[in-house]
Amino acid sequence: MKERHEHAVYVISVFAELAGVHPQTLRNYERSGLLSPQRTRGGSRRFSEADLAALRRIQDLTNEGVNLEGVKRIMRLEAEVDALKEELTASASKVRSSVAETHRQYRRDLVPVQNTIALFMDAARRRREGN
């Protein structure tokens, strides 16, 4: 699904119509670094569903009164948060796996602590009685 989401298929005129913006607006967003459409060998822009999602986010933020530089910073931070969440999820998975492996390596022939104390007390009592 992700591959399809990032597959660039829309030419600028179709993409602008889908998004309800003028093609020049898209060019401005590209110049300011907010959108990064793929390019054909001939240099034509091709937009994807991911670009459409980014454009929707840009529109939401600008409608809330955020200027383009603010939008750029917010989107950069959101991407960083997403990357950190993925990293955290991967780390948590590694930790769970490591803990599970540690548990699998425990020796099953070890005596539980509560039984060990009783054995120790019995041995101490026998030594006292034997002396």
How would you classify residue 65: left for phi > 0, otherwise alpha for psi between -120 and 50, otherwise beta?
A: left
Dist. CA 45–CA 41, nearest whole Å: 10
Which residues lie closer than 8 Å to 13 by C-beta, 6 or more apart? 23
* Domain membership of residue 88 as a residue range: 2-107
CATH of the domain at 8: 1.10.1660.10
* pLDDT at residue 82, as a whole number: 97
Of 38, 39, 13, residue with least CA distance to 26: 13
Query: Which is more confident, 67 or 115?
Result: 67
Average pLDDT over residues 38-45: 91
In a domain, 121, yes or no: no
How many C-alpha atoms does 7 have within 13 Å on its Cβ side? Answer: 6
In a domain, 21, yes or no: yes
Average pLDDT over residues 18-36: 94
Regarding pTM above 0.95, the answer is no
In a domain, 116, yes or no: no
Q: Give bridge partners of residue 10 from the DSSP assignment.
A: 47
Mean pLDDT for the chain overall? 86
Total structural domains in the chain? Answer: 1
